[in-house]
Homo-oligomer: A and B are copies of this chain.
Amino acid sequence: MTEALPTIAILGGTGKEGKGLAYRWAGAGYPILIGSRQTEKAQSAVAELRKLLPATVYLEGMTNPEAAQQAGILVITVPFAAHRATLESIREYAQGKILVDVTVPLVPPKVSRVQMPPAGSAAQEAREILGEGVEVVDAFQNISYEHLLNDEPVECDVLVVGSSKAARTEVLKLVQAAGMVGWDAGTIENAVVVEGLTSVLIYLNKQYGVESSGIRITGIPRD
């Protein structure tokens, strides 16, 4: 089984988003490489995750470029301020692969207000930086990561948008493997909705006094 699953590099994988996704995917049998700017930080995140997972999982910590080079699918989970530099550091190792962009281009302090970068969205910026040889797909922007490490169900659907249908289909498998419901929501131009929705949800959390508002797609039968 495990041999058939691609290795996933989680770039900037030492934060709650990266650790939460790594936990779910490692538990589902995917080999996981946690990347960070510093090897020690990545290894420390791996040690933390190992305590929560069976001994059979494959998890390693290394630098972002090392992780990108060794993986078949790349996932970037960094604050927007580190988005460009992280992508530039792994550009040559990303060619021919899928990059899953989890970044939300929040502009503190007004994080409940949509403010997109000049490219139109973080995903479109990633595509500009990496070039047409890399398929860029947005996913997981709208979920609350606290639920992932606690094995709690995620009460938020995952909208998947990106530069090709084939890449979106691959990423939908990762959404399901992480225990969530995903939807192919169209081309990379739709990334502004997926990323901007995070600001709307942050606003709703504040406005209605909750911690993890989300969305659920209605009107489509579920499996």
Residues of A within 8 A of B (CB): 112-116, 144, 155-156, 159, 161, 183-187, 189-190, 192-193, 196-197, 199-200, 203-204, 207-208, 210-221
Q: Which of B186, B199, B200, B203 contacts A112 (CB 8 A)?
A: B186
- Say yes or no: B207 contacts A184, CB within 8 Å: yes
- Say yes or no: A193 contacts B193, CB within 8 Å: yes
- Say yes or no: A199 contacts B186, CB within 8 Å: yes
Q: Which residues on the B side are within 8 Å of A208 (C-beta)? A: 183, 220
- Say yes or no: A189 contacts B113, CB within 8 Å: yes
- Say yes or no: B193 contacts A197, CB within 8 Å: yes
Q: A113-B187, A217-B215 are in contact. Are A200 and B193 (CB under 8 A)?
A: yes
Question: What is the CA–CA distance of A116 and B193 in the complex, to the nearest angstrom?
Answer: 11
Q: Which residues on the B side are within 8 Å of A183 (C-beta)? A: 204, 207-208
Q: Which residues on the B side are within 8 Å of A218 (C-beta)? A: 155-156, 213-216
Q: Which of B204, B210, B219 contacts A214 (CB 8 A)?
A: B219
- Say yes or no: A214 contacts B214, CB within 8 Å: no
Q: Which of B114, B189, B196, B213 contacts A220 (CB 8 A)?
A: B213
Q: Residue on B with the closest CB to A212?
A: B219
- Say yes or no: A113 contacts B186, CB within 8 Å: yes
Question: What is the CA–CA distance of A215 and B159 in the complex, to the nearest angstrom?
Answer: 11
- Say yes or no: B196 contacts A196, CB within 8 Å: yes
Question: What is the CA–CA distance of A220 and B144 in the complex, to the nearest angstrom?
Answer: 14
Q: A113-B190, A193-B193 are in contact. Are A200 and B185 (CB under 8 A)?
A: yes
Question: What is the CA–CA distance of A185 and B156 in the complex, to the nearest angstrom?
Answer: 17
Q: Which of B116, B184, B203 contacts A185 (CB 8 A)?
A: B203
Q: Which residues on the B side are within 8 Å of A190 (C-beta)? A: 113-114, 196, 199-200, 203
Question: What is the CA–CA distance of A187 and B189 in the complex, to the nearest angstrom?
Answer: 22
Q: Which residues on the B side are within 8 Å of A113 (C-beta)? A: 186-187, 189-190
Q: Residue on B with the closest CB to A155?
A: B218
- Say yes or no: B192 contacts A114, CB within 8 Å: yes
Question: What is the CA–CA distance of A200 and B191 in the complex, to the nearest angstrom?
Answer: 10
Q: Which residues on the B side are within 8 Å of A144 (C-beta)? A: 219
Question: What is the CA–CA distance of A152 and B216 in the complex, to the nearest angstrom?
Answer: 20
